Structure 1
Amino acid sequence: MTTLFLTVGLPGAGKTMKARQLAKEHSALRLTPDEWMIPLFGEPEADGKRDVLEGRLLWLALQALRLGTNVVLDFGCWSRDERSAIRWLVASVGASCDLAYVPVDHDTQRARVSHRQSTAPDQTFPMSEADLLNWRALFQEPDAAELEGREIGAPPPGWPGWLEWAADRWPSFM
């Protein structure tokens, strides 16, 4: 059975390092939106284009899984709904999903972000202290049931299914 490894965590947590390790260990295709944004759009956070890019990378990931290739999806996935939708989509193509949560404390995160901005400013985007604190407040840490891959809950109220939710969240997915 093929597996999609989904990195989960905040900026500066070490998700991409973990994604590279998983790709090597599992002969997996690694899809990291941060590495596509500047080559495609000329900037790391082109307004609204990240969601479009993530939708196409998610579509590509599902195609690769169908063909028998393991995939590492290096998205971050801050919300439980995003993770649940991806887990459901992966199961719908007969593959398994393994969440790779990379926690980070605030001081370490701040130091890593500062280091990245000073050593590779062309490969990142500005992140203020206020941004880091706001994102930390928005982040929904995965619980034990989610990390163990237990049952996927129902989509949010008003959505008939995870497929429809995902198509709305990532406009280019379908």
Structure 2
Amino acid sequence: MARRLAEELPAVRLCPDEWLTELGIDLFDEEARDLLERQLWRHALELLALGTSVILEYGFWGRVERDEKRLGARTLGVPVELRYLDVPMEELCRRVEERSAAGGRGTVAITEAMMAGYAALFQAPDADELSLFDTCDRNGGR
């Protein structure tokens, strides 16, 4: 979805998984990921200030992280959309397995056990939080 939106809008898409892969860094290196995501966020703010649309292809697992990005972008006076896709765990596992089989940039093997652990950490946005974002004018989520 992020790739499609980047072409349609157009927008600059920033995906930490792809950057880590291109730099030869383990996708599970939390310290490197944190440093990279902070740098990509600074870059995103620079692009937004120049009037360029940006897509952050991050996990946005927690409300605090989503609030930080939303409020940071709003200080620049730009609208902020959240594309949240509520997908059942079985479908997520199927998609990850399919993506892993196909290979490609930023692809690593993720087990069902790993997916279950990630799901336990994820804080899904509720209706109140979703109302804080601008409404998407295209199909594919909010």
Note whether the superposition's TM-score is higher than 0.5: yes
Partner of 1:59: 42
Which whole-Å CA distance do the structure 1 matches of 2:9 and 2:132 have between them? 18
Give the aligned residue type for 1:51. Answer: D
Q: Does 1:98 align with 2:87?
A: no
Task: Report the alpha carbon displacement of residue 119 of structure 1 after superposing the two structures with TM.
Answer: 2.1
Give 1:121 shift. Answer: 6.9
CA distance in 1, matches of 2:65, 2:30: 20
Q: Give the C-alpha shift of residue 47 in structure 1.
A: 4.3
- Matched residue of 2:100: which SS? helix
Bigger fraction of residues in strand:
1
In structure 1, the partner of 2:22 is 39
TM-score by length of 2: 0.85
Does the CA contact (< 8 Å) of 2:48 and 2:78 recur in 1? yes
Instruction: State the distance in 1 between where 2:105 and 2:56 align.
Output: 22
Report 1:1-174 matches (<5 A). Answer: 18-120=1-103, 123-149=106-132
One-letter amino acid of the structure 1 residue matched with residue 99 of structure 2? R
Amino acid across the alignment from 1:101: Y
CA RMSD of aligned residues (A): 1.7
Distance between the aligned counterparts of 1:116 and 1:73, measured in 2? 20
- Shift of residue 66 of structure 1? 0.3
Structure 1: gaps of 5 or more residues: 1-17, 151-174
CA distance in 2, matches of 1:131, 1:58: 26
Shift of 1:148: 2.3
Q: When the two structures are superposed, what TM-score results if normalisation uses the length of structure 1? A: 0.70
- Which SS does the other structure have where 2:110 is aligned? coil
Conserved in 2, the CA contact under 8 Å of 1:98 and 1:147? no
Runs of 4+ in 1 over 4 A off after TM superposition: none
The structure with higher relative contact order (CA 8 Å, sep 6+) is 1
Segments of 5+ residues of structure 2 without an aligned counterpart are 134-142
- Structure 1 position 122, deviation (Å): 6.5
- Give 3-state SS (helix, strand or coil) of 1:30's partner: strand
Could you tell me how far 1:99 is from its partner in structure 2? Answer: 0.6
